[in-house]
Amino acid sequence: MAEQLSDAGYRQLCELSGNTCAYPGCEFVVTSKEHGLARTRRDAARIVSEARQGPRWRSEVANEERRNLLNHMLLCEEHHTMVDSNLRIYSVGVLVKMKSDHEALVVNQPPGQHRIPIAEEQVRLAVLPVVGVPAAVYAANALKEDFSSTCRAILHRGQRPGRSDLTPFLHVNGKIWAFHDLSRSDGPFAKVVQRNSTTRHEARDMWSTQDGHRRYVHLLDKVLNLDLVQRGLEWDKQSDRYWFPAEAGGRPRLAEVRNETGGLRERVVAHEQIFQSGPPSGLWRHWALECRFESVGDSWALSTRPTYQWTSDGSTPLNVALASGKVSRKLDVIYHAQYLDQVVFWQNWLTRGQPLLVSQIANASLVLSAEAPTTTVVWPTIGDRVFRPSGADEEELQALLEYQKALDLQPDELFSTEPDLVLTTVGSAV
* 66 closest CA partner among 55, 77, 75: 55
Whether residue 149 is found in the same domain as residue 268: yes
Overall average pLDDT of the 35-62 stretch:
55
Whether residue 39 is found in the same domain as residue 165: no
Measured distance CA(79)–CA(99) in Å, rounded: 13
Q: Is 320 inside any structural domain?
A: yes
Whether residue 85 is found in the same domain as residue 166: no
Overall average pLDDT of the 135-163 stretch:
75
Domain count, the chain: 2
Q: Is 226 inside any structural domain?
A: yes
- Phi–psi pair at 174, nearest 5 degrees: 80, 10
Q: Quote the domain boundaries for residue 64.
A: 7-116
pLDDT, tens digit, 9 for 90 and up, residues 337-364: 678 888 889 999 999 888 898 888 877 8
Whether residue 67 is found in the same domain as residue 105: yes
pLDDT, tens digit, 9 for 90 and up, residues 91-102: 777 787 888 888
Measured distance CA(106)–CA(24) in Å, rounded: 12
Whether residue 173 is found in the same domain as residue 100: no
Total Cβ atoms within 10 A of residue 325: 7
Total Cβ atoms within 10 A of residue 75: 28
pLDDT at 314 over 60: yes
Q: What percent of the chain is predicted at pLDDT more than 90?
A: 24
Measured distance CA(84)–CA(86) in Å, rounded: 6
Whether residue 229 is found in the same domain as residue 106: no
Residue 194's pLDDT band, with cuts at 50, 70 and 90, is very high
Whether residue 198 is found in the same domain as residue 140: yes
Whether residue 135 is found in the same domain as residue 275: yes
How many H helices and E strands in the chain?
Answer: 10, 17
pLDDT at 75 over 90: no
Measured distance CA(87)–CA(329) in Å, rounded: 12
Whether residue 47 is found in the same domain as residue 138: no
Whether residue 197 is found in the same domain as residue 274: yes
Whether residue 204 is found in the same domain as residue 231: yes
Angle between helical axes of 394-407 and 92-108 (0-180°, round to 10) = 150
* 42 closest CA partner among 72, 63, 86, 85: 72
